[in-house]
Structure 1
Amino acid sequence: MQVDWTPLRSALREARGQGRALRFWWRDDDAIAPTPALERLEGIAHAANVPVHIAVIPATATPELAEVSIASKVLVPVVHGWAHADTSAPEAKKSEFERNRSEAAGETALGLARMQKLFGAALVPMFVPPWNRISEGLVAQLAAQGYRGLSTFGPRGVEILHGLHLVNTHVDPIFWRGNRGLADTSWLIETAAAHIRSGSSEPLGLLTHHLVHTDDIWAFSARFIAEMQDGGALPFDLKSALKN
Structure 2
Amino acid sequence: MAEASAETTLRNELDAFARAGRRVPLWWRDDDAVEPSAALDRLLRIARRRGLPLALAVVPLGAREGLAARLADEPAVSFLQHGSAHRNHAAPGGRAVECGGDRAADTVLAELSRGRAILEDLFPGRFLQVMVPPWNRIEPRIADRLAGEGWRGLSTFGPVAEPRDDGLAEVNAHLDILRWKGGAHFAGRDKLLLDMAGQLAERRAGRSDEPFGVLTHHLDHDEESWAFLDELLGLLAAHPAARWIGAAKAFGLPGVEEAGR
- TM category (shorter chain) comes to over 0.9
**Structure-1 separation of matches of 2:197 and 2:185:** 22
Match of 1:222 among 217, 221, 230: 230
Contact 2:54 / 2:247 at 8 angstroms: preserved in 1?
no
C-alpha deviations, 1:166-212, integer Å up to 9, x for none?
11111111121145321132221122112211222111111111011
Q: What TM-score do you get using the length of structure 1 for normalisation?
A: 0.93
Given the superposition, is the C-alpha separation of residues 173 and 108 from structure 1 closer, same or farther in structure 2, using an over 3 Å criterion?
same
Partner of 1:149: 153
1:42 equivalent in alignment to 2:40: no
**Structure-2 separation of matches of 1:4 and 1:198:** 17
Q: Secondary structure at the match of 1:205?
A: strand
Q: Secondary structure at the match of 2:26?
A: strand
Amino acid across the alignment from 2:245:
F
C-alpha deviations, 1:60-84, integer Å up to 9, x for none?
1011111222321222211000000
**Structure-2 separation of matches of 1:161 and 1:83:** 29
Partner of 2:81: 79
Amino acid across the alignment from 2:30:
D
1:125 equivalent in alignment to 2:129: yes
Amino acid across the alignment from 1:21:
R
**Structure-2 separation of matches of 1:5 and 1:98:** 40
Given the superposition, is the C-alpha separation of residues 18 and 27 from structure 1 closer, same or farther in structure 2, using an over 3 Å criterion?
same
Match of 2:177 among 173, 182, 187: 173
| 1:49-128 pair list within 5 angstroms | 49-99=51-101, 101-102=103-104, 103-128=107-132
Say which structure, 1 or 2, has more relative contact order (CA 8 Å, 6+ apart). Answer: 2
Match of 1:207 among 211, 215, 229: 215
- How many equivalent residue pairs? 242
Given the superposition, is the C-alpha separation of residues 161 and 213 from structure 1 closer, same or farther in structure 2, using an over 3 Å criterion?
farther
C-alpha deviations, 1:155-175, integer Å up to 9, x for none?
111244532111111111112
Partner of 2:259: none
Q: Secondary structure at the match of 2:109?
A: helix
Partner of 1:235: 244
Contact 1:171 / 1:207 at 8 angstroms: preserved in 2?
yes
Q: Secondary structure at the match of 1:88?
A: coil
Amino acid across the alignment from 1:201:
D
**Structure-2 separation of matches of 1:100 and 1:180:** 26
**Structure-2 separation of matches of 1:132 and 1:47:** 28
**Structure-1 separation of matches of 2:101 and 2:183:** 28
Amino acid across the alignment from 2:213:
G
Question: Structure 1 residue 145: deviation in Å?
Answer: 2.3
**Structure-2 separation of matches of 1:30 and 1:80:** 7
Q: Secondary structure at the match of 1:188?
A: helix
**Structure-1 separation of matches of 2:84 and 2:183:** 27
Q: What TM-score do you get using the length of structure 2 for normalisation?
A: 0.87
What's the RMSD between the two structures over aligned residues? 1.7
Contact 2:60 / 2:115 at 8 angstroms: preserved in 1?
yes
Unpaired segments ≥5 residues, structure 2: 255-261
Unpaired segments ≥5 residues, structure 1: none
**Structure-1 separation of matches of 2:148 and 2:71:** 26
Question: Structure 1 residue 144: deviation in Å?
Answer: 2.4
Identity across matched positions, percent: 34
